[in-house]
Structure 1
Amino acid sequence: MKNNKLFVAIILALIMGIIAGAINHYYFPSFQEEFSKNVKLLGTIFIRMVQMIIAPLVFSTLVVGIAKMGDLKMVGRVGSKAMAWFIIASLISLLLGLVLVNTLEPGKKTNISLEQLDGASDILEKTQNFSVEEFVKHLVPKSIFEAMATNEILQIVIFSILFGIALASLGRKGKLIISSLDTLSHVILKMVTYIMWVAPFGVFGSVAAAVSKHGFGIFSLYANYLIAFSVGIIVLWIILLVVGYLFLGKRLFVLLQRIKNPLLIAFSTTSSEAVFPKLVEELERFGCQNKIVSFTLPLGYSFNLDGSMMYMTFASIFIAQVYGIDMSLGEQLTMLLVLMLTSKGVAGVPRASLIVIVATCAMFGIPPEGIALILPIDHFCDMARSMTNVLGNSLATAVIDKWETKPINNG
Structure 2
Amino acid sequence: MGKRLTWFIIAGLILGGLLGYGLNITYAPQGDAGKAVLDGAAYYLDIPTQMFLHLIKMIIAPLVVSTLVVGIAHMGGGTAIGRVGGKAFLWFVTASLVSLSLGLILVNILQPGVGVNLPLPDVAASSGVDRSGFDVAKFFIHIVPTSALDAMAKNDILQIVVFSLFFGVGLAAVGEKGAPIVRGMEALVQVMLTVTGYVMMFAPIAVFCAVARTLATKGVEVIGQLAYFMGSFYIGLAILWAVLLGACFLVIGARTGQLFRYLRDPILLGFSTASSEAAYPRTLDALDRFGVPPKIASFVLPLGYSFNLDGSMMYMTFASIFIAQAYGIHLDWPTMISMLLILMVTSKGIAGVPRASLVVITGTLAHFDIPEAGILLILAVDHFLDMGRTATNVVGNAVASVVVARWEGQLDPPQEAELTVATAGTPQGTADADSFEDYGAKS
Q: TM-score range by the shorter chain?
A: over 0.9
Of 148, 156, 162 in structure 1, the residue corresponding to residue 160 of structure 2 is: 156
* TM superposition shift of 1:214: 1.1
Match of 1:8 in 2: 7
Residues 1:65 and 2:64 aligned together? no
Contact 1:270 1:383 in 2 (8 A): yes
Task: Name the structure where helix makes up a greater proportion of residues.
Answer: 1
The offset of 1:305, in angstroms, is: 0.3
Could you tell me which residue of structure 2 aligns to residue 20 of structure 1? 19
Which deviations, in whole Å up to 9, do the C-alpha atoms of 1:313-334 show, x marking residues without a partner? 0000011111111111001000
Q: Please report the TM-score for the alignment, with normalisation by the length of structure 2.
A: 0.88
Match of 2:199 in 1: 195
1:61 shift after superposition: 0.7
| Residue from 257, 264, 267 that aligns with 1:260 | 264
Q: Does 1:277 align with 2:281?
A: yes
Structure 1 residue 132: Cα displacement: 2.5
Which portions of structure 1, spanning 4 or more consecutive aligned residues, are displaced by more than 4 angstroms?
111-115, 406-410
Deviations 1:323-355 (A, max 9, x none): 111111001000000000011143346522100
**Which residue of structure 1 lines up, in the alignment, with residue 419 of structure 2?**
none
- Is residue 248–residue 256 contact of structure 2 (8 Å, CA) maintained in 1? yes
Distance in 2 (alpha carbons) for counterparts of 1:325 and 1:228: 20
Alpha-carbon distance, 1:43 to partner: 1.3
User: Which SS does the other structure have where 2:319 is aligned?
Assistant: helix
Structure 1 residue 231 displacement after superposition: 1.1
Structure 1 residue 40 corresponds to structure 2 residue 16:
no
2:97 corresponds to which residue? 91
1:213 partner amino acid: T
Structure 1 position 408, deviation (Å)? 6.5
RMSD: 1.7
Residue 357 in structure 1 maps to residue 361 in structure 2: yes
Gapped runs of 5+ residues in structure 2? 29-33, 415-443
Contact kept in structure 1, 2:320 and 2:365, CA below 8 Å: yes
Letter in 1 for 2:57: Q
Aligned runs of 1:177-188 on 2, under 5 Å? 177-188=181-192
Task: Give the share of equivalent positions with the same residue, in percent.
Answer: 47
Cα separation, 2, equivalents of 1:47 and 1:349: 9
For residues 139 and 409 of structure 2, what CA distance do their matches in structure 1 show?
36
Q: Paired residue for 2:212? A: 208
Structure 2 Cα separation of the partners of residues 54 and 408 of structure 1: 26
Indicate if the aligned counterparts of 1:138 and 1:345 stay in contact, CA closer than 8 A: no
CA distance in 2, matches of 1:284, 1:409: 10
Q: Are the aligned partners of 2:72 and 2:299 in contact in 1 as well (CA < 8 Å)?
A: yes
**Could you tell me which amino acid in structure 2 is paired with residue 7 of structure 1?**
T
Report the counterpart of residue 54 of structure 1 in structure 2: 60
The 3 A distance-change label for structure 1 pair 299 and 407 is closer
Structure 2: distance between partners of 1:333 and 1:59: 37
What TM-score, normalized by structure 1, do the two folds share? 0.94
Give the letter aligned to residue 4 of structure 1. K
Q: Which moved more, 1:158-167 or 1:344-353?
A: 344-353
- TM-aligned CA distance change 1:193 to 1:112, over 3 Å: farther
Q: Deviations over 1:53-83 (max 9, x none)?
A: 0001111111111110013211000000000
Per the alignment, do residues 173 and 40 of structure 1 end up closer, same or farther by CA in structure 2, a change over 3 Å counting?
A: same
Q: Distance in 2 between matches of 1:136 and 1:352?
A: 18
Question: Any idea what SS the aligned residue of 2:137 has?
Answer: helix
CA spacing shift, 1:335–1:121, aligned 2, 3 Å: closer
Which letter does structure 2 place at the counterpart of 1:274?
Answer: A
- The answer to whether the Cα contact below 8 Å between 1:306 and 1:392 also exists between their aligned partners in 2 is yes
Contact 2:324/2:370 (8 A) holds in 1: yes
In structure 2, how many angstroms separate the alpha carbons of the residues matched to 1:337 and 1:217? 35
TM superposition shift of 1:107: 0.6
SS in 1 for 2:292: coil
